[in-house]
A = this chain, B = another copy of it.
């Protein structure tokens, strides 16, 4: 159950170099992505029309791609325009092409008919466009369904149980924490005030050690997270009654993340951690934060993959009993189901 008509993250800009086709997988489909001499990104089915050899083992020729099994040459629209030893190329020798968007170092592919690709649905990674933050980036493969990773990211009440060792999350703080969940265009907005969080000095590189955290993120279909993390002096949350603080944050970080459903039970998780360029040694701090985040996301991965194995061995007639904290998950899953329905209602070769 995939959402086709959506932007799926397939990596960071530097992963795609002119002359080197790259194999990726989105919503169960193998695709090949290459950069033309002019620097444009092209995405096609990773499957020659002839005998289904992978084009990702092919050879870039200008803005075209040659299958290196029997030499069929495809243009960027997916049309085969040359078959060695053959005068005519049949019109049906063509493969699906996909719309690609490259924004601020991220690359996304629209999983449905490229004619319907909607730039308005690109993730709202706004801070990347500007210059406030410098980023460190990572990725992680999951043997679990994307939906479980989405559910993890939509409910931060797991932090004090899963992330004590890495992020230093504390049960005491989270008992006091308050959240607000609001529908937004194509997604959910989630806000958390976490008072009295203890932040290790090595993480903030600030003298503030006990802070109130304000986490504000949007989570949009099919799995994009855009989050501002603001750190305030202790008691700020209570002073503003867990609302909008009247003071500036001591520091703020920004996170862009995206979950790509590569297959039915597999996913790739991309995450970029941004720290303000204004901080001394910002790039080094970003790397340090990413290293901590990497450990945290590994904690998630261990739990989620184990959860997936349990789900896979659970009889169908046993149902999950939702918590109150599942509200954002429930709303988001409805959006995903709606999007999947719209996929199957829409026309076009890929719907």
Partner-B contacts on A (CB < 8 A): 28-30, 46-47, 49-54, 57, 66-72, 80, 83-86, 90, 92-93, 148, 151, 155, 157-158, 160-162, 171, 174-175, 177, 302-303, 306-307, 309-311, 313-314, 320-326
Contacts and interface: CB of A to CB of B under 8 A. Distances in A.
Given A52-B314, A54-B310, A310-B47, A69 B324 contact: no
A47 B306 CA distance: 10
A56 to B, nearest CB: 8
A307 B162 CA distance: 41
Considering residues A29, A174, A177, A321, which has the most beta carbons from chain B within 10 angstroms of its beta carbon? A321
A53 B306 contact: yes
A314 B95 CA distance: 12
Contacts of A80: 321
A68 B161 contact: yes
A313 B90 contact: no
A194 to B, nearest CB: 12
Contacts of A314: 47, 52
- Going nearest first, the 3 A-B pairs with the smallest beta carbon separation are A49-B321, A86-B324, A93-B321
A241 B247 CA distance: 89
Given A157-B70, A314-B47, A323 B83 contact: yes
A314 to B, nearest CB: 6
Given A50-B323, A306-B54, A70 B155 contact: yes
A85 B325 contact: yes
* Most chain B Cβ neighbours within 10 Å, of A86, A320, A323: A323
Contact of A320 (B52, B177, B302): B52
A177 B86 CA distance: 12
A46 B310 contact: yes
